[in-house]
Amino acid sequence: MRISDILRVKGDQVVTVTPDATVERLLGVLAEHRIGAVVVSRDGTTVDGIVSERDVVRALAGKGAGILALPVSEIQTTQVRTVSPEAQVEDVERLMTLRRFRHVPVTADGRLAGVVSIGDVVKHRIEQLETERSTLEGYITGERT
């Protein structure tokens, strides 16, 4: 299965902030959308960075509450790993596990086409395992489902 199959179900909406948005504003966006990371983008279509709740926690622990007034560009990750809609879900799962991040923006022709989280990938894996299990049960009992 491909990343585009996940996006077809969850949609291609990507929450972005501009690099000059403050960290306080970022926290509002994360809370409002109930998400853990946002893509940093100047124009809403290209990826300039990514900033997650972990970046905020790390900056707060290191520099204190003063970071709330700083722009997100000060705490973002700029070397963003993106994937294409054609990527296999299993490969993206491996990437997230190895690199220890829980979000991957999806781009097509350099433009944002969605975002997948580890939660989306796990949901997909559970559904896949359930389908496989019921198919195997069908073979064993002779009842095709």
Site string for ligand AMP, 45-74 (x = CB under 6 A): -----xxx-xx-------------------
Q: Is 58 or 133 the residue whose CB approaches ligand AMP more closely? A: 58
Dihedral of CA atoms 74, 76, 77, 80 in degrees, nearest 10, equals -130
Site membership for ligand AMP, residue 102 (CB under 6 A): yes
Stretch that binds ligand AMP, among 66-74, 78-86, 119-127, 128-136 (CB under 6 A): 78-86
Contacts of 124 (CB under 8 A, 6+ apart): 1, 5, 6, 89
Q: Is 28 or 138 the residue whose CB approaches ligand AMP more closely? A: 28
Q: Which residue matches tokens 């195997």?
A: 136
The least distance separating ligand AMP from the CB of residue 69, rounded to whole angstroms, comes to: 20
Q: Is 97 or 131 the residue whose CB approaches ligand AMP more closely? A: 97
Segments of 1-145 assigned E as strands: 16-17, 37-40, 49-52, 103-108, 111-117
Q: Is 29 or 80 the residue whose CB approaches ligand AMP more closely? A: 80
* Secondary structure of residue 2 in the 3-state scheme: strand
